[in-house]
C-alpha cells in the first residue's frame, strides 16, 4: 500500500523477476514485501 505516493515499478518488476528465479533455483518463494527478498535484490543489483 503506497497511499498517494508514487510507486517505483522498476524495482517491483525486478523483485518479481528475482523472486521467480529464486523459486526456480531453490523451490522457495518470497512475499513481495519480504525483507529477505529485498536483501537478495540489493546484493544482486545495487552492489553491481
Q: Tell me the domain boundaries of the chain.
A: 9-46
9 HSE (CA, 13 A, CB side): 0
Per-10-residue mean pLDDT of the chain, 48 residues long, equals 64 78 90 84 69
Other CB atoms within 10 A of residue 13 CB: 10
Rounded-to-integer distance, Cα 21 and Cα 27, Å:
9
Residues 29/19, Cβ–Cβ less than 8 Å: yes
The cell numbers describing 23, all together, are: 523459486
Amino acid at each position: 500500500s503506497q497511499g498517494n505516493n508514487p510507486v517505483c515499478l522498476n524495482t517491483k518488476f525486478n523483485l518479481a523477476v528475482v523472486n521467480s528465479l529464486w523459486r526456480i533455483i531453490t523451490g522457495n518463494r518470497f512475499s513481495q514485501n519480504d525483507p529477505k527478498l529485498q536483501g537478495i535484490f540489493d546484493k544482486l543489483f545495487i552492489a553491481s
